[in-house]
Amino acid sequence: MADYAFRKVGQTDEALVKHWLAQPHIGGWWQDGATEWGMIAADLANPAIDMRIVTTDGTDMGFIQDYDVHNWPALQFDDLQAGARAVDTFLGDPAFLGQGHGTGYVAARLADLQRAHTTIVTDPATTNTRAIAAYTRAGFLPHRVTPCDDGTLVHVLKSTTCL
């Protein structure tokens, strides 16, 4: 299994993140690079969200963020207790597709998060079967299928641990 590191996203990552968001395998799941980067840049100093670049063997390969589920309105998380964290990610570099890295780095980040939080969730669209499979292999379990704020059906997956 590969070793993964998670470095904080900074302003210098703008071109990299925009490049990744323009890749065909990202299409449909995230907005365009300029829109997404605008949201990322606006939240770089926000303590409610932790945004990271995923690396392996010194190579940047993806983006992962975790955040307090109650800091932003999100109907799909209304049933979760205070302190729950949500995870969103994408494997940006297409050279790493199909090798199990998505599952690997999500599992590694999940293990990190479980040291401080009792509940971690994610909410891929029900049609994003590749993401659902990767999250499930990484340790998330089905919680519920529900619409999110824009009406898209999402599969809320949950990992619970005892601290």
Domain residue spans in the chain? 5-160
Q: From edge to edge, which strands make up the β-sheet containing 153-160?
A: 5-8, 49-56, 59-68, 85-91, 119-122, 153-160, 141-147
Here the tokens at position 84 are 């729950």
What is the separation, in whole angstroms, between the first and last Cα of the chain? 26
pLDDT digits (tens, 9 = 90+) for 83-133: 899 999 988 888 878 788 889 999 999 999 999 888 999 999 999 898 899
Distances (CA, A) of 122 to 14, 19, 34: 24, 24, 23
The CATH number of the structural domain formed by 5-160 is: 3.40.630.30
Q: What is the pLDDT of residue 69?
A: 92
CA–CA separation, 54 and 65 (whole Å)? 10
CB neighbours of residue 101 within 10 Å: 21
**pTM for the full predicted model:** 0.90
Mean pLDDT of 17-46: 84
